[in-house]
Amino acid sequence: ALRTACMVLVLVACSNVFGHFLTITDIPALAAQWTADLTINRNIVLIFVLLIYLIGGSFIDDLAFMILATPVFYPIVLKLGFDPIWFGIMVGVTMMIGIVIPPVAIGVFLVKQITGEPFKVIYGGVYPYLIGLIVCLILLFVFPGIATYLPDLLMGKG
């Protein structure tokens, strides 16, 4: 557990340095402008962004990858006109899916390390929740109002 915690903290520290580098070089703004100039549908761009979060979440710890990737993709999402609260929820659900899918499946390896159960047993318990998360992600993508109803209501937009 100590080794895992140290690895995560090193990743978070390196991600923080990378975030500062991105801010200084203005790469997020350049990427946002480049993306806005593309002629493809904004939903396709968002799907690619979420796929990057999914793949990154399956290889790197979720917190470290969010700290690493969000400074790059957040300006792009804002430039495309998506709600930032909705995007944050989409990223959170996507990262939850990423930590349990192969090839690395950090969450599954952690459970195996703690319980000693074989992967077949662990994935047998994970699959129903994984299917539920995928359905939830699709519903949130198709109906963004599900995620933004309460925040809009609290902010007086609803």
Q: What is the DSSP string of 23-73?
A: HHHTHHHHHHHHHHH--S-HHHHHHHHHHHHHHHHHHS-HHHHHHHHHHHH
Q: Are 43 and 51 in contact (CB under 8 A)?
A: no
What residue numbers bound the domain in which 71 lies?
2-154
Residue 1's pLDDT is what? 65
Angstrom distance (rounded) from CA 150 to CA 157? 10
Q: What does each of the 158 residues of the chain score in pLDDT, given as a tens digit?
A: 677 777 777 777 777 787 778 778 887 788 878 887 888 899 999 999 999 999 888 887 788 788 888 888 998 899 889 999 999 999 999 999 998 888 778 788 888 888 899 989 999 999 999 999 999 999 999 999 999 999 999 998 86
CB 38 within 8 A of CB 45: yes
- What pLDDT score does 132 carry? 96
| pTM for this entry | 0.81
> What is the per-residue pLDDT for 31?
80
Number of separate domains in the chain: 1
